[in-house]
Amino acid sequence: MPYVIAEPCIDVMDRSCVDECPVDCIYEGSRKLYISPVECIDCGACEPVCPVEAISQDRAVDPDFEAHVADNATFFDTVLPGRDEPIGAPGGAMGIGAVGVDTELVAKHTPQA
């Protein structure tokens, strides 16, 4: 998984990264964005435009946010609440639109005051 989006994106979802992604691999949950590990081409275009510095390569994630490396894959590989099957790799986020749900890790995250 080349790039991941970590905790600083929760409840922010600026979406500047979505505009920069040349392969449409950034998907929208309810509270956070997720990068498809299968569709990402490791170009890095998303990283510098993130205003909260939530995006990094999987091997360079801040140690405080390491759980988000596996969690990013979980978003695509498991059946999320209200869905019948995993998202998988549908070939682009625009084709499915906002997913509207998050992984358990993100859903349980306490909002910052």
- Write out 24-59 in H/E/C secondary structure: CCEEECCCCEEECCCCCCCCCCCHHHCCCCCEEEHH
Q: Hey, where are the domains in the chain?
A: 3-93+101-107
Per-residue model confidence (pLDDT) at position 36: 96
Phi, psi for residue 34 in degrees, rounded to 5 = -135, 140
Reading the block at residue 35, the tokens are 């990068």
- pLDDT by residue for the chain (113 residues), tens only, comes to 589 999 999 999 999 999 999 999 999 999 999 999 999 999 999 999 999 999 999 999 999 999 999 999 999 999 999 999 999 999 999 999 999 999 999 999 988 65
Per-residue model confidence (pLDDT) at position 38: 93
Reading the block at residue 3, the tokens are 């790039």
Architecture of domain 3-93+101-107: 2-Layer Sandwich (3.30)
CA distances from 88 to 16, 41, 74 (A): 23, 16, 10
